[in-house]
Amino acid sequence: MPEGHTVHRIARQLSTDLVGRRLAVSSPQGRFAAGAGRLDGQVLVSADAVGKQLFCTFESGDVLRVHLGLYGAWDFYGSLTPLTEGSFAVGSMGAPRLRRAVRMGEDEREDPAAEGGLVSFPPHPVGQVRVRLASTETVADLRGPSACEVLDPGGAAAAIERLGPDPASTDDLDRAGGVMVDRLTSRNVAVGQLLMDQSVVAGIGNIYRAELLFRARLDPHTPGRRVPREVARALWDDWAVLLADGIRTGVMITREDLSAAQRESALTDPALRHWVYHRTGEPCLVSGDPVGVEEMAGRKLYWCPGCQV
């Protein structure tokens, strides 16, 4: 499932290339025809991410809310502005070409089928495109989201209110961190589960959960009420740092022990990025104990029984 940094990058791409433009909005697969018809022909006013959810506000006040879920992704075509630190995906450098597709989802990557040849623009929708947002120069296609709906301003505000704080969506990190600490330390639920609860803190998924807990050397089974407030606050502060780095690079690198050269290699080699995630049975990079895995909150939890005690 795409984690918070990916959704923030999608919001930035939309903000850069589609906000302020009058859009043709359609539903090529037909499942979102009514919602698309409601938005069609309007100017996109803003695109904002809160946690794993995207909120695109149009001139009427209508808001397109999207949650990518496990399988959702956006494909971008046409005239595109490179995001910070190079281009749209790691290893993609230089100006985009017409008919280049850039996928932003669980793994950001360029579409190899887009290489070479002259094609018309906009490209014909391929596959199950739920929503197409199109200007005269740029197209964004949404596929496979778990949630896609049009809300009025009150409905959008209510959806955001249900979410926990997001370091990248607040102007007051200190206050937002206090909210997260209060919610986490007031419940008798394992901290490894609470970090995945989007009403406690927004944007953390399976990778960031495992890595944040390891970096804090915190047992994921510890009830929230038994987590010292200063430790909970340190989790928030660390999340803010990791999220900002992920937004900037498009890659989740959670090992703080890497040299500059190793970090550069980690941008293209996932095996170098994490302390415990996807390292079941391998020796912990700190203690040497085998990394364990178990089910928690419906997802695989990776942790080191030797370090996280």
Q: Is residue 144 part of a domain?
A: yes
Split at pLDDT 50, 70, 90, the class of 97 is: very low
Q: Is 209 inside a domain boundary?
A: yes
From 21, 255, 263, 299, active-site residue:
299
Mean pLDDT of 225-240: 98
Query: Which of the pair, 90 or 147, is modelled with greater confidence?
Result: 147
Pick from 122, 144, 160: which residue ends a domain? 160
In a domain, 309, yes or no: no
Q: Which of 160, 187, 218 is the last residue of a domain?
A: 160
Is residue 300 flagged as an active site residue? no
From 9, 52, 100, 143, the catalytic residue: 52
- Tell me: do 173 and 260 sit in the same domain: yes
> Quick one: pLDDT band at residue 300, thresholds 50, 70, 90?
very high
Residues 82 and 213 in one domain: no
Active site residue 2: yes
In a domain, residue 72? The reply is yes
Token output for 51: 């946690």
Say how far apart CA 193 and CA 203 lie, in whole Å: 14
**Pseudo-torsion of CA 182, 49, 44, 142, nearest 10°?**
-140
Same domain, 252 and 135: no
Tokens representing 39 are 């938005």
Mean pLDDT across 86-99:
31
* Contact by Cβ (8 Å): 129, 96: no
> In the numeric block, which tokens belong to residue 95?
């100006």
Higher-confidence position of 205 and 92: 205
**The pLDDT of residue 106:** 44
Lowest mean pLDDT among 30-39, 81-90, 183-192: 81-90
Angle formed at CA 110 by CA 108 and CA 71, multiple of 5 degrees: 45
Q: Which residue did the predictor score with more confidence, 125 or 173? A: 173
Residues 251 and 266 in one domain: yes
* CA 241 to centroid of chain Cα atoms: 15
Is 194 part of a structural domain of the chain? yes
pLDDT at 104: 55
Q: Which of 129, 160, 191 is the last residue of a domain?
A: 160
In the residue annotation, 52 being an active-site residue is answered as yes
Q: Domain check: are 131 and 150 in the same one? A: yes
Tell me the pLDDT band of 275, cut-offs 50, 70 and 90: very high
Same domain? 76 vs 187: no
Query: Active site residue: 3, 108, 122, 132, which one?
Result: 3
Asked if residue 308 is part of any domain, the answer here is no
Q: Give residue 18's domain range.
A: 4-160
Q: For the residues 44-55, what does the mean pLDDT come to?
A: 97
CATH number of the domain residue 103 falls in: 3.20.190.10
In-domain check, residue 279? yes
Respond yes or no: is residue 59 known to be catalytic. Answer: no
Q: In what order do the strands lie in the sheet with 109-110?
A: 24-26, 129-134, 138-143, 73-78, 102-104, 109-110
Q: How far apart are CA 213 and CA 299, in angstroms?
A: 15
Pair (208, 293) in one structural domain: yes
Going from the C-alpha of 289 to that of each of 127, 175, 309, the distances in angstroms are: 45, 38, 13
Q: Which two tokens stand for residue 152?
A: 């009025």
Average pLDDT, the chain: 89
For residue 265, being part of any structural domain is answered with yes
